Structures are given as C-alpha cells and as structure tokens.
Amino acid sequence: MLQSMVRDFAKNEIEPKAAEIDQTDKFPHDLMKRFTEMDLFGLPYPKEYGGSGMGYLAMVLAVEQLAQASSVVAGWLGTQCNCMETIFRYGTEEQKQKYLVPLAQGEKLGCLAFTEPATGTDPRAIQTTAKLVGDEYVLNGQKRFITRASVSQIVTIFAKTEDNRVTDFIVETNTPGYSTGPAWDKMGSRGSDTCDIFLDDVRIPKENLLGSQGEGYRILLQAMTAGKLGWSAQGVGMAQAALDEAIKYAKERIVHGRPEAELLSIQWLIAEIATKVEAARWLTYRAAWLKDQGEDITKAVALAKLFSASSSVEAISQAIQVHGSYGYTKDFKVERLYRDAKLNDLIEGSLEIQRVIIANSLLQ
C-alpha cells in the first residue's frame, strides 16, 4: 500500500516538475509539504517519536519510487534520516522529544554535517572545534558540501573537543554565529541545495552534546548505514527509470522500417540493464530488512551501496546507448538520470570507501 501510494505521488506530482527542478535549480518547497501530509519523513521510527514505525524497508520502498521521478526529491528522505538516526540511536529522551519528534513529523528539516574542506570521512582531519565554556559549548569551523544546509532548522554537527576527540552536537540553525554560503553549482542533483556551513562562536547548551564526548565517529558510522540505504534505493529507482525509458524508446523508435526493439543489440542492452536493476534492488532490500531485524548492516549496506551506485551509472549509460544521440540531449529523461546518478559514486562514502569496508569486514 505504501509503495503504491508513493508511486502514484511520484508519477502524478513529482514527475511533471522534475525537469523544471533540474533546469531552475530551485528547491521545491511545495512538494516538501506533501511529504509531511503523507507522513513520509518518519517511516523508520517508532510512533512515540513521531514516526510511523514501518521500518527501514518501508523507507527504501518509498525512496525507490520517488527516485524514479526525481532523485533530488527522493534524497530528502535520506538527508532527514541521517539527522534523525543520530538522535534516535544516541539521543537522550529529552533530545528525542525536542528534536526527533518534529523531524519525524516533518515540522522541521534536518541534516548532518561532517565533511570539511580538508576531509571527507577521515575523523583525524576534522578541524571544527567545540570548546566547553561554562554551561555551553562554543563551536568554530567550516563544513563543506552539506545537503539542505540552508533550509534546515536542526543540524547534527561533528567537531573536535579539547581532548582532540570527535564529538557530535545538535545545533539549531537560528543560533547566532551559524550561517551558510551560496549553493554549489553542481553537475546533477540540481534543486537540492548543497552549501558550506560556517560556525563563528556558535554557542549551544552542553545538553546538546549527542551521545558521549569522543563518540562522534561511531555515531557517524551508525547514521551513515541509514543514509546509505537511502542512496542505494535511489540508485535502484534511477536505474529502473532508465530501464523503463529504454524500453519505451526502443518500442517507439523506427529503424529501417521496424521498431528498434527488434534489434538484437538493443535487446542485449535492455537485458543488461534489467539484470543490474534486479541485483541492486535485492541487495538493497536485504540490507534494509537486516536493519529492521536489529542486525549490524555495516557490510551489507556497503555491498548494496557499492553495487547500486556503480551499476546505476552503468545501467543509465546503457539506456543512453539505446537512445543513441538523442539520449545525450536534455529532451530525454536519461540525460538527467545520468547526471544525477553520478553523485551516488561519491556521497555517503565513495565507492573506494565501500570497498575498504567490505574487505575489512571479510578479512578481520
């Protein structure tokens, strides 16, 4: 029922606006209201914290359907989940009621800020600092490539405390000293603002420390398992959309008096795309199901992310091949899908990082 509801929403309300979102690079706030009305933000989380209690597999099913219309819109669930996951797993009861509930209900938007100009996922290179002064922590530093930073009200920010240990903090974006830079002009994922965050003597109560001091990197890794599920599902959705577009085009395109779909070379491409879609889908579903069972999915979600990201780019490239030169133009959806899919290779840990995680899990 959820899958069907989100599919209809994506087809009827997102798909007609997807190209415009990409072309204008404008954040579509009207669609965000519909997310709240449909209770999509809190899918994985218990009802007592504002969620629906449907679990991570439900989130994956929703993201997959949304991504077939627009990966930008689908990414809202993953970004929100990154922020919520840190609070759900490590927050106090007071923090959960104050921050998780409005995030899960869509009353407030959130994001997670770890990346800096000098580092991607290496905690040793973190330069943002948090100094305890009386009953407050004072944060200073800069975060880079933070999705939805300019429109979020709650951000979980990772900084080094005076003992040089990475720690996580909850920051409300209306706090004095918090600001964002201009949105980066990206190749794809346009319409999803990606900004730098600047912290200039940002003072937060010490009660906003998340988890224990020095526990930040472990919190990050836990949060990223949920984020990677979202990105894996996005890859599946985009590859499925590419498959649908390739089949449609192959049936309609007439070559030498007959449909292109009758050509053996085109059939081979479509078969290759379909195989990648199915393999990525079941790796992703399995990782989400394991997380719903309370299992450690570090390796499972790395497998899903690695395969979904790489195979979606390959699948969409093959769909462009089916379209021929037309696929290289903005008149056809596969061109946008290709630009958007490339981000999956880089975000929430690059493909190289996923390979390291998988290998370390097997070799330990």
41 and 179 share one domain: no
Do 135 and 85 lie in a common domain? no
Chosen domain end from 75, 104, 133: 104
Do 32 and 11 have their domain in common?
A: yes
Q: Which two tokens stand for residue 212?
A: 């224990």
Structure tokens at 235: 């890859």
Here the CATH number for the domain that contains residue 52 is 1.10.540.10
**Pair (98, 8) in one structural domain:** yes
Measured CA to CA, the distance from residue 163 to residue 27 in angstroms comes to 39
Give whole-number Cα distances, 346 to 36, 117, 313, 336, 352, in Å: 29, 15, 12, 17, 9
> What CATH number does residue 277 fall under?
1.20.140.10
The pairing of strands 110-113 and 154-160 is: parallel
Q: Which of 64, 85, 116, 348 is catalytic?
A: 348
* This prediction's pTM: 0.94
pLDDT (tens, 9 = 90+) of the chain, 364 residues, equals: 999 999 999 999 999 999 999 999 987 778 888 888 999 999 999 999 999 999 999 999 999 999 999 999 999 888 999 999 999 999 999 999 999 999 999 999 999 999 999 887 788 889 999 999 999 999 999 999 999 899 999 999 999 999 999 999 999 999 999 999 999 999 999 988 899 999 999 999 999 999 999 999 999 988 889 999 999 999 999 999 999 999 999 999 999 999 999 999 999 999 999 999 999 999 999 999 999 999 999 999 999 999 999 999 999 999 999 999 999 999 999 999 999 999 999 888 899 999 999 999 999 8
Instruction: Look up the domain containing 259 and give its range.
Output: 217-363
48 is catalytic: no
| 230, 325: one domain | yes
Q: What's the pLDDT score for residue 300?
A: 97
SS3 string, 268-322, reads HHHHHHHHHHHHHHHHHHHHHHHHHCCCCCHHHHHHHHHHHHHHHHHHHHHHHHH
